[in-house]
């Protein structure tokens, strides 16, 4: 038992953190809701009770997963580039513009879709290059610069849609509709689950391979693990900082465009949708491991869906989800949380081993 706990200590700790977050939410619901048991049922079981809600989990996990792996790559290099929100938004805007501009060429659907996604990915990569480069070249605080880049991207994106691709016949600020050949197909009837979710999962596997089985991925992790060691062992730190930002931004960009092509079929965001921040959350909870991030994204999407059901059918507001999320992040990032238990078990194991060694000698 002790050996098992030590081996899977991180996983157990994460699960305990999640359970505490859930427990706090149950406590809050009992505190504020007039029909607490009903609310609890809506929150935790609601997402599973209909096909469209189940689909909802996968739909909303898709952009979160893209942004999660986008955040994980610079985070692995200990570069706190939090510009995924802006890269997501701007890539979706420019990607939409690109798709509409080339729509007259009548490309075959397959090529059209790939070209659009690639264009958006490149926009995201170029945009994320800025904070990465500023950090590598002049040591500009990457948290601040990437944060500012989010606001700038938001305004540029709005400007592009508003002044160049706005559908004036629509009663609200939105772009023209994408041609049907550029849609990501929704393949489960009765839901809006689209091909994007498969692309996202594939990307997570690719990034996992990239981070753990390629030279550049190793360099990225090494810079994050020990900057000075990496530097003095000859790793080009400048390259790693810039590339980790660029590659991360690429996936944020694809994520933004996949959301447009799969769900809305036009660019209709007037406020930034916040998936970049969700991406940071899932990257942290998933310890920057792309495969874990898949599950964390689904878990977060499940909480969100439950929150929506709760909001709709009970007297508890949706924002309870943010409270749970923040508690979970705080506990997971707190290294000393449960550390004394691990310490005690380690000591006990060592003592037992010593006794065995002594008795055998």
Report how far residue 296's alpha carbon sits from residue 290's, in angstroms, rounded to the nearest whole number: 10
Does residue 333 bind another protein (CB under 8 A)?
A: yes
Does residue 213 bind another protein (CB under 8 A)?
A: no
Residue closest to 131 by CA, chosen among 51, 241, 39: 241
Does residue 138 bind another protein (CB under 8 A)?
A: yes
Residue that the structure tokens 């060592």 belong to: 350
Nearer to another protein, 243 or 320 (CB): 320
Which value, to the nearest 10 degrees, does the dihedral of the CA atoms of residues 10, 320, 46, 185 take?
-80
Least distance to another protein, CB of residue 83, Å: 11
According to CB under 8 A, which one of 205, 233, 326, 355 is a site residue for another protein?
326
According to CB under 8 A, which one of 3, 34, 106, 139 is a site residue for another protein?
139
Does residue 336 bind another protein (CB under 8 A)?
A: yes
Does residue 296 bind another protein (CB under 8 A)?
A: no
Residue closest to 150 by CA, chosen among 128, 118, 122: 128
Does residue 195 bind another protein (CB under 8 A)?
A: no
Report how far residue 44's alpha carbon sits from residue 305's, in angstroms, rounded to the nearest whole number: 9
Least distance to another protein, CB of residue 158, Å: 5
* Residues 97, 164 contacting (CB under 8 angstroms): yes
Residue closest to 255 by CA, chosen among 197, 334, 211: 197
DSSP string, 122-147: HHHHHHHHHHHHHHHHH---HHHHHH
Nearer to another protein, 85 or 182 (CB): 85
- Residue 164: both structure tokens together: 């160049």
According to CB under 8 A, which one of 8, 27, 48, 155 is a site residue for another protein?
155
Nearer to another protein, 133 or 218 (CB): 133
Report how far residue 88's alpha carbon sits from residue 259's, in angstroms, rounded to the nearest whole number: 10
Binding mask 4-33 for another protein (x = CB under 8 A): ----------------------------x-
* Residues 310, 316 contacting (CB under 8 angstroms): yes
Nearer to another protein, 319 or 358 (CB): 319
According to CB under 8 A, which one of 43, 58, 80, 165 is a site residue for another protein?
80
The residue range among 36-44, 118-126, 134-142, 192-200 that interacts with another protein, by the rule CB under 8 A, is 134-142
DSSP string, 83-106: -HHHHHHHHHHHHHHHHHHTGGG-
- Residue 105: both structure tokens together: 């060429």
Does residue 134 bind another protein (CB under 8 A)?
A: yes
The residue range among 40-48, 158-166, 186-194, 297-305 that interacts with another protein, by the rule CB under 8 A, is 158-166
- Residue 77: both structure tokens together: 């290099």
SS3 76: helix
Residues near another protein (CB under 8 A): 32, 80, 82, 130, 134-141, 143-145, 147-149, 151-152, 154-156, 158-159, 162-163, 223, 227, 231, 237-238, 241, 277, 280-281, 284, 317, 319-323, 325-327, 329-330, 333-337, 339
């Amino acid at each position: 038992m002790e050996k098992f706990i030590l081996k899977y200590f991180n996983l157990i700790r994460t699960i305990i953190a999640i359970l505490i977050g859930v427990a706090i939410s149950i406590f809050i619901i009992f505190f504020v809701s007039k029909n607490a048991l009903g609310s609890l049922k809506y929150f935790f079981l609601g997402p599973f009770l209909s096909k469209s809600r189940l689909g909802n989990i996968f739909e909303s996990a898709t952009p979160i997963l893209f942004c999660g792996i986008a955040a994980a790559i610079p985070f692995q290099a200990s570069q706190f580039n939090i510009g995924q929100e802006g890269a997501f938004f701007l890539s979706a805007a420019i990607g939409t513009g690109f798709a509409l501009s080339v729509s007259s060429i009548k490309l075959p659907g397959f090529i059209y879709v790939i070209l659009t996604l690639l264009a958006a990915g490149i926009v995201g990569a170029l945009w994320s290059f800025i904070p990465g480069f500023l950090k590598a070249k002049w040591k500009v605080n990457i948290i601040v610069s990437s944060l500012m880049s989010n606001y700038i991207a938001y305004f540029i994106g709005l400007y592009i849609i508003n002044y160049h691709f706005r559908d004036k016949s629509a009663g609200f600020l939105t772009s023209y509709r994408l041609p049907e050949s550029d849609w990501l197909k929704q393949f489960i009837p009765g839901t809006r689950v689209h091909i994007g979710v498969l692309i996202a999962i594939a990307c997570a596997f690719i990034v996992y391979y990239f981070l753990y089985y390629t030279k550049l991925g190793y360099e990225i992790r090494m810079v994050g693990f020990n900057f000075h060691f990496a530097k003095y062992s000859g790793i080009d730190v400048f390259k790693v900082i810039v590339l980790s930002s660029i590659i991360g931004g690429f996936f944020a960009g694809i994520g933004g465009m996949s959301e447009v092509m799969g769900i809305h079929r036009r660019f209709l965001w007037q406020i930034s949708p916040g998936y970049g921040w969700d991406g940071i959350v899932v990257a942290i909870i998933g310890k920057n491991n792309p495969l874990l991030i898949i599950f964390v994204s689904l878990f977060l999407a499940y909480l969100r869906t439950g929150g929506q059901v709760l909001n709709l059918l009970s007297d508890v507001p949706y924002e309870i989800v943010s409270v749970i999320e923040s508690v979970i992040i705080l506990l997971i990032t707190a290294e000393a949380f449960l550390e004394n238990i691990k310490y005690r078990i380690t000591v006990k194991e060592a003592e037992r081993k010593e006794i065995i060694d002594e008795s055998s000698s």
